[in-house]
Chain A
Amino acid sequence: MKLTEPQIQDLYAFTRQHFVEHYDLQTEPVDHLANDIETQWQNQPKLSFEEAKNKAFKKFGVCGFMDAIEQRAKAMNKRYRRYLWNELKNWFALPQIFATLSLFLGFYLAFSTFYTPILALVFYGIIIIWAIYKGIQLNRQFRRRKEISNKKWMLEEIIFRQSGVTSMVFMSQLYNVYRIPEGFITNIYFIVGLSLAFTAFVIISYISFEVLPSKAEKLLNETYPEFCL
């Protein structure tokens, strides 16, 4: 005896009730539970769907699907960092390296003036405002995508909702930008370091807020063979 389409949908709902929110993570337990239920029916054809489902779920142990979710989240975050790193490498190869160098030079020249603390705050403010605006825009985009497809993919959520995490590391340094000691603004090593940090901040923010979300379809297709099914 095989499971019907409504029973399969019931299994999807069951996994959601057990905190498996992402469609890419639901597929596997749904198939596993379905196989187990069908095997149980071979020996006990009169067993109800609900009873067989609960028996099958018990085999996942006390933690249920949690260990699998945790492992998957680690794997997807690793994958996201790999995509980010691959894009970052492009900025140090031709032709983007010219943009990277120009950006660095621009910051260096600006910070070499007497207005380093003010300019650092102004640049910092501009980038933060842009990052917040993009964050809100991407979050809306993510909600719209979910409404249309009725599915949520783990990598998709990382791309659209956690894109600011890397930038947050820089954002948390506001106090240090605000309180640049006076003696530092004439120190060439400090100016070079500050320019490098700002260049990295701009490039990483641009990749995570602009480049990766624009490549979302390609990356999701590459990650999930079932994405186009």
Chain B
Amino acid sequence: MSNSKLYKGSLTTIILKLLNEHDKMYGYEITQKVKALTKGELKITEGALYPALHKLEAEGLLDVEVAKVDNRLRKYYKLTETGTKETVNKLEELAEYIKTMQALVNPKLA
């Protein structure tokens, strides 16, 4: 998904977090948003993003909306109620992970 394999396990959390901050987003918009927020440091590849979005949709965490934009159809994703709850859990898990890693690699800061 990115320039570093370390980000790989966090793709779902990144998607959920972005959708939690925006009402609805489409695939390309998500890739560009991540690129902009991380100043190009993290690039989500298309080949990883769409399977992840479809999986989250199948799990009932995302809902879809389709609209005609310009001369094509655009699929928007938004969080379901379950998705919003799951975002909180995922973010807590990630914070815990960062804390643990911090304790391991830099015990002085932990």
Contact = CB atoms under 8 A, between A and B. Distances in A.
Given A71-B52, A72-B54, 7 more contacts: A2-B70, A34-B72, A36-B28, A60-B46, A61-B46, A61-B47, A224-B66
Interface stretch (B10-18, B57-65, B90-98): B57-65
Contact of B50 (A8, A71, A226): A71
B51 interface: yes
A97 interface: no
Given A27-B66, A30-B72, A229-B66, A75 B54 contact: yes
Contacts of A32: 27-28, 46
B64 A225 contact: yes
A157 B65 CA distance: 22
B50 A67 contact: yes
Q: Is the interface of A mostly helix, strand, loop or mixed?
A: helix
A123 to B, nearest CB: 37
Contacts of A5: 71
A129 B72 CA distance: 45
Interface string B24-50: 001110001000000000000111101
Contacts of B58: 71, 74-75, 78-79
B8 interface: no
A229 to B, nearest CB: 6
B51 A28 contact: no
Range, interface on chain B: 20 to 34
A13 interface: no
B73 A229 contact: yes
Contacts of B65: 225
Nearest to A73: B54
A31 B28 contact: yes
B72 A8 contact: yes
Given A36-B28, A71-B54, A75-B58, A59 B70 contact: no
Contact of A31 (B27, B47, B64): B27
A218 to B, nearest CB: 18
B75 interface: yes
B99 interface: no
A75 B50 CA distance: 12
Given A32-B27, A60-B46, A71 B55 contact: yes
A93 interface: no
B68 interface: yes
